Amino acid sequence: MSDTQQLWNDYAACWPADPADRLAALGAVAVDEVAYRDPETEAGSLTELAAYMAGFAGALPGHRFRIDEVLEHHGRSLARWTHLGEHGETVSTGISAARHHEDGRLADITGFFLPA
């Protein structure tokens, strides 16, 4: 597994993470001033993104993301993911694109939800 694949796996694990651990886990994979956007929100920092993740986890207990494929080059990556429900069923799929900071962490993330 590449370092970037592991980074995306660790990022995906932040979404359902225990609230007490989420911010620290997110800080290990993204910079403090991370920019995040998807069709439902925009965030401009780790704390804003962690709060959005907390809302997701609170609204959808037991749900998680699986990273299915990662492509990377020149400090950017693309992750294809599956949103899994509490029983492991596919809820939705999507793609997230990211620009990486010089230290490798995620600096700018844009998520796209794919049509069913």
Q: Could you tell me which CATH class the domain 3-113 is placed in?
A: alpha beta
User: Confidence band (pLDDT; 50, 70, 90) for 68?
Assistant: very high
Q: What is the pTM of this model?
A: 0.96
Mean pLDDT across the chain: 97
The domain spans of the chain are 3-113
pLDDT tens profile 22-59: 999 999 999 999 999 999 999 999 999 999 999 999 99
Single-letter residue type at 103: D
- Nearest-angstrom CA–CA distance, 78 and 85: 23
Q: Which candidate, 65, 74, 63, 116, places its Cα nearest to that of 98?
A: 74
User: Confidence band (pLDDT; 50, 70, 90) for 116?
Assistant: confident
What DSSP designation does 17 have?
A: S
Region of 21 on the Ramachandran plot (φ > 0 left; ψ -120 to 50 alpha; else beta): alpha
- Joined together, the tokens standing for residue 63 give 């749900």
Average pLDDT on 85-97 reads: 97
